[in-house]
Amino acid sequence: MKSLLIKLILPLTIISFTLFTKWWYALPVDAPDTIYIGFPLIFQGPGWHTSMSLQIFWLEFIVDFIVYFLFLFFMLFIVKHFFSILSIPKILTVILWGISSSIIAIALLQCMIADNAYHLKRPYDVKILETGYSFIWQDIERPDYYKYFPEEKKN
């Protein structure tokens, strides 16, 4: 199982963590309506002090990563238990680690942006208005704010 862990589960976790996530349309306390991402917890959102910045919440990020890892671990454990997987082709391992390394490199470059805000835990509460799931290449259409607060219609 240790071989599967290094060769297959860790790179698949990194890839799936990047490709598939949940979006949350939320109303933070004393802030504009915002779209966050993360599954099962919100771990990233846009920064409010400049348009290209992000807010990253480390504890939520770690919990989300562990959830993805454990899910894939148990899925592959069950597959290995019922089907005898003797070895993983080296080319598959090289491809998965190549993709994972690229994702890690891009994430590290993104983390080096000085405008990003990093918090150990999200420092404010949010009111969740709508949620959904998406792949990284899908555009998340911003829901209509006035659908939830019709009394605040523009004049």
Q: Residue 22: in which H helix or E strand, if any?
A: strand 20-28
Tokens of 52: 């290209």
pLDDT band at 139 (very low <50, low <70, confident <90, very high): confident
> CB–CB of 130/143 below 8 Å?
yes
pLDDT at 91: 92
| Of 45 and 87, more confident | 45
CB atoms within 10 A of CB 19: 13
Predicted TM-score (pTM) of this structure: 0.85
Q: If DSSP codes are grouped into helix, strand and coil, which group holds residue 10?
A: helix
Beta-sheet pairing, 117-119 with 54-57: parallel
